[in-house]
Structure 1
């Protein structure tokens, strides 16, 4: 394995879509994901990637902002690692790389949402020293 962590170039965001599609169990179509990622290119968004040689095998979106309760921070979004690469310590290494990367950009914290039923992720994030601060509510219209 030749694992490398780096920011996914914006001109290759289509490579992210199959991983995010799997994460969302196909609830959002590839076409809609493509449209949304085109919009995201123009916003305060970057995507961190895990590569095995030239193949993208993991991602985490990074939304940069300043919040009243944390200061400058990054919200991790659509964190996903291909199943064959899980339970090997790769996720922990990825979180360490992300923390160092966002600190180099002046961030003082990172946060994320995880699906309520995704119990393995809850344990993982607890083990990374994260705390639950609240609930995430949404109303679609």
Structure 2
């Protein structure tokens, strides 16, 4: 299976939102996701898509910043691969592409968050060489 990776643009939100709805289990309305993604595209954010036969089968967000503990880094966010393409090496290939792409942008480190109950992702990220450094806390204002 040949995979193509490319940065998605704000005008492609109609392709991004259906995958994000699957990622969030339809937790938010399309309108809210469009509003939030539109704002995200104005920040240090890129949305990357993975395509098979010109069909968008996966996405992830990349947030770029410099951190005191890791230097120039990328935070890999909302990684989603369509159910039909899981356990076929797509995630591993996607992450290999992400590492090369972000190294080319000067990143020295990659970090991410994953939900506590998402055990399959934990195994995947351990196998990718990620280590747990702490807890992610959230407080709604």
- Report TM bin, short chain: over 0.9
Query: Mind listing any 5+ residue stretches in structure 2 that lack a counterpart?
Result: none
- Distance in 2 (CA, whole Å) between partners of 1:59 and 1:36 is 16
2:60 counterpart residue number = 60
C-alpha offsets along residues 34-60 of structure 1, whole Å, 9 cap, x if unaligned?
A: 000111111000011101122111011
2:46 counterpart residue number = 46
Query: Mind listing any 5+ residue stretches in structure 1 that lack a counterpart?
Result: none
SS of the residue corresponding to residue 137 of structure 1 reads coil
Aligned residues: 141
- Distance in 2 (CA, whole Å) between partners of 1:127 and 1:60 is 18
- What stretches of structure 1 move > 4 A for 4+ residues in a row? none
- Distance in 2 (CA, whole Å) between partners of 1:47 and 1:123 is 24
- Across the aligned residues of Structure 1 and Structure 2, the Cα RMSD in angstroms comes to 1.0
Deviation at 1:117, TM superposition (A): 0.7
More deviation in 4-13 or 56-65? 4-13
Q: When the two structures are superposed, what TM-score results if normalisation uses the length of structure 1?
A: 0.96
SS of the residue corresponding to residue 16 of structure 1 reads helix
Q: When the two structures are superposed, what TM-score results if normalisation uses the length of structure 2?
A: 0.96
